[in-house]
């Protein structure tokens, strides 16, 4: 369990991201394909962040990276 206080902005963000990951696991096609970044990768927006992942199987995803929208995708997903 996180050591951050409930309601702390970082804890709130972490929970939002965890809920988004849970949604993607339940419906892997929810994210848009982003083969221009890397073949097989998908992207799902989470507030000011983007969840980059690939589908491993029907109920398994591989979260490749979580990036802030201002971060250089090419640099961090090379």
CATH topology of domain 9-76: YaeB-like fold (3.30.2310)
Which element (helix H / strand E) includes 38? none
Which phi and psi (to 5°) does residue 24 adopt? -65, -40
pLDDT tens profile 26-44: 999 999 999 999 999 999 9
Strands (E), 1-78: 32-33, 41-46, 49-57, 60-68
> Look-up: residue for tokens 């951050």?
4
Q: Where are the domains of the chain?
A: 9-76
CA distance 77 to 69: 13
Residues of the chain with pLDDT under 50: 1
**Looking at the whole model, is its pTM more than 0.85?**
no
């Amino acid at each position: 369990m996180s050591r951050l206080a409930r309601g702390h902005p970082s804890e709130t963000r972490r929970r939002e991201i965890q809920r988004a990951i849970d949604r993607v696991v339940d419906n892997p096609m929810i994210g848009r394909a982003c083969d221009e970044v890397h073949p097989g990768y998908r992207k799902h927006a989470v507030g000011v962040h983007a969840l980059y992942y690939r589908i491993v199987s029907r109920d398994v995803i591989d979260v490749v990276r979580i990036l802030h929208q201002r971060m250089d995708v090419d640099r961090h997903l090379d």
